[in-house]
Amino acid sequence: MPDTPGRPPRALDPWPPLRAAIAGAFAGLIGGGYRWTLGLAYPWHVKLLVDVAAVRFGWVFLVALFASGAALSSWLTVRFAPEAAGSGIPHVEESIAQDRRLRWQRLVPVKFVAGALALVSGLSLGREGPTVHLGAGIASALEGPLGLRARRAMLAAGAGAGLTAAFSAPIAGFVFVLEELRQRPNRLLVSTALPAVLTSYLATTWLLGDLPMFPLPPTPTPSAVLTPLFIVLGVAAGMVGVAFNRGLLRALDLFEALPGPRWLGAAAVGALAAGVACWLPYAIGNGEPAAEAMIRGHFPATLAGLVLFLAVKLGLTAVSYGCGVPGGIFAPQLVLGATVGAIAHALAPNLGGGTLGPALATAGMVGVFVASVRAPITGLVLLVELTAEGHLLLVQATTALAAYLFAASVRDLPVYEALRERDARRVDAAAGIGNKAPPEDTP
């Protein structure tokens, strides 16, 4: 209950902040370990593709390897922790809203192992959904005998610590708790979420270092005259964000309608990822090397190649998420956004003196993220922390606003809200089927 006006405020219970700080530290260590594991995937993929290319019919081995890894990821998820499928953020949001306890004993190991298997097998997914889910699971394990409000605050704090671990972005982790998890800022929430994200950041940077994920080359602040360009970029990013959301939902429906065990669909996506890896290797996995190359202007593609990459990455992400393995969507959104920005730069390479590449790429990243998730403050803060630069914030905010307004104007639901509604409809449909009376015997 809030403090009563006119009375001295109650003393703050020290247990939730202390438990949250411990949970944040563990979330940072486990999330950082997850990042470290996945960081080995890209150089391993590069070496694997070189070795496969040197062997006759080596692609057959690659298909078998990626398909078996994706199938094992799906089987582990379905067999031991079905709630670990997908991003996990909708599950955390629903657990907070309904005061449901997480089965952390199963969730944490399955999310870590199956999620790593999916990304190592080339599926186009991110790590932030799993780290958010892992952080929430760790907070649930350490919540102890807390009351309802404290348990919800602990779960939200763990989720924020997980996002912090994914990107080494503590401020974005705290804003994520307020904006995406829709938690009101009060003494209890602030005193749990802040210790959690800060200890998570300390643990993550101790493990991985504190360098920004996407360091920018020297980039001047774009002139205000170029504002219309960033508005147009925001509309384009909004279109991609809407297509992204609808593609995910359709892919989920498609794989749910397929006959047979779920692991067969995941195996098919793994085989598809192997084919893409042989042809367009930048498109597999979380795609962060591609985003960094686009920001720095080193991505080896023409305008047509960028458009092709955008289509392939979008399609591969949709089916990778739809097949039901653990994996997030933030990283693919950022890659798609960087591609939209790179396309804009390729269309007008000399505009702004030819120095707009990093500004367009990072603004496109924010635009696609905001159009899909509909969390503009989280997106803007996240990009500032990922790049360690704030002088592009105005053009990034302009693009984010245009993308947000476009997505809202076509009445596209935010992706996590759409996923929660879809899950609710499936539960209601299953309950309706279960409650139906058996049909009468016909003569």
Q: Give the predicted TM-score (pTM) of the model.
A: 0.91
Print pLDDT tens along the chain (443 aa): 444 445 455 555 567 889 999 999 999 999 999 999 988 888 888 888 888 877 888 889 999 999 999 999 999 999 999 999 999 999 999 999 888 889 999 999 999 999 999 999 999 999 999 999 999 999 999 987 778 888 899 999 999 999 999 999 999 999 999 998 887 888 899 999 999 999 999 999 999 999 999 999 989 999 999 999 999 999 999 999 999 999 999 999 999 999 989 999 999 999 999 999 999 999 999 999 999 999 998 898 899 999 999 999 999 999 999 999 999 999 999 999 999 999 999 998 888 778 899 999 999 999 999 999 999 999 999 999 999 999 999 999 999 999 999 999 999 999 999 999 998 887 777 666 544 444 433 33
Tell me if 364 sits within 8 A of 402, measured CB to CB: no
How many CA atoms does the CB half-sphere of 365 hold within 13 Å? 30
Q: Domain check: are 197 and 250 in the same one?
A: no
Task: Give the domain-ending residue among 150, 174, 208.
Answer: 208
How many CA atoms does the CB half-sphere of 18 hold within 13 Å? 6
Q: Domain check: are 104 and 203 in the same one?
A: yes
How far, in Å, CA of 291 to CA of 283, rounded? Answer: 10
How far, in Å, CA of 318 to CA of 311, rounded? Answer: 11
User: What is the longest distance spanned by two Cα atoms in the chain?
Assistant: 83
For the chain, what is the domain count? Answer: 2
How far, in Å, CA of 338 to CA of 73, rounded? Answer: 29
CATH of the domain at 284: 1.10.3080.10
Helix axes 227-257, 393-409, angle to 10 degrees: 50
Please report whether residue 219 resides in a domain.
no
Please report whether residue 29 resides in a domain.
yes
Token pair 């270092």 is found at 209
Tell me if 224 sits within 8 A of 231, measured CB to CB: no
Domain residues for the domain of 77 are 15-208
Q: Domain check: are 323 and 350 in the same one?
A: yes
